[in-house]
Amino acid sequence: MKKILITGAAGFLGSHLCDRFIKEGYHVVAMDNFITGDEKNIEHLQGLDNFEFITHDVTNFIELQGRLDYILHFASPASPIDYLKIPIQTLKVGALGTHNLLGLAKAKNARMLIASTSEVYGDPLVHPQTENYYGNVNTIGPRGVYDEAKRFQESITMAYHRFHGLETRIVRIFNTYGPRMRLNDGRVIPAFIGQALRGEDLTVFGDGSQTRSFCFVDDQVEGIYRLLLSDYTNPINIGNPHEITIKQFAEEIIKLTGTAQKIIYRDLPQDDPLQRQPDITLAKTILNWEPKTSRELGMKITYNYFKTLPKEALYKSKHKNFKEHIKK
């Protein structure tokens, strides 16, 4: 039985990765410190013989006993509402956390895949974004703490690959959605659905002409799984290239939820990217991967999930374990 460590395991994407590798017959060691993760995301796995959980902050030294075959590093705040409130922790998990995990991978001779992001492209001047585009990032802007943490994460990972010969993989994740997203995490899909469920008007920043491309979580997990087991070592985009404006998406949400809310407009946040669309030519060619789930189906599944949440979840302003980390 192969053994895999998944950091950020109680988060949205991390928990789905735990499910996939459990299904594939791996022994999964899950790690999280619950800054933004939620125990409920993995409670269905507790008690399984091939699942164990460790509460730990990866910015501190990591020691595991025994053999380890793979590491998936998915620990990080991933939405603006989070990383703007805990900027130092965001930088630390991208830098110190990645360094610690690369050291563990080297000691265990394990293959390590890091979760990078489309945010490494910043507010792109190239469209759609290909992996050889170096990006347009404001290093000292408020979003720079996340963008630069991920860019450094890529750099140190490639340094370990080149200098130590470590087996590494880098996935650049584009907007992903699905069940287990936090309603209060500030990203556009839970924000719109939360507003619709509360009977509030939908808030669009800017004039709504900025674009995003949304990938359903099952498709994203499939791409990550294939990349981990591939021989490809350079960064690779995993996302859905079907682009839509935020205004059009708000209109889709109103139609999906059957609500009568209006769209209201607010000022666009600083450095918010105006275009986001992955070029997935490499993923198609190297991994034989492309998204299969239509946005219509994926959004129905996601909306139905949010409707099952307790009513009080619609009004929570922050994650219950978030406040204690604000000053760290």
The CB density around residue 165, as the number of other CB atoms within 10 Å, is 10
| Angstrom distance (rounded) from CA 246 to CA 249 | 5
CB 90 within 8 A of CB 67: no
Q: Report residue 190: phi and psi, to 5°.
A: -65, -30
∠ CA 294-209-182, rounded to 5°: 55
Catalytic residue check, 146? yes
Structure tokens at 305: 């999930």
Q: Nearest to residue 5, comparing CAs of 56, 77, 59, 80?
A: 56
Residues 6+ apart with CB under 8 A from 47: none
C-alpha dihedral sign at 253, 255, 258, 261: positive
Q: Which of the residues 83, 146, 160, 177 is marked catalytic?
A: 146
For 213, the 3-state DSSP assignment is: strand
On the CB side of 164, CA atoms within 13 Å amount to 20
Residues 6+ apart with CB under 8 A from 99: 156
Catalytic residue list = 146
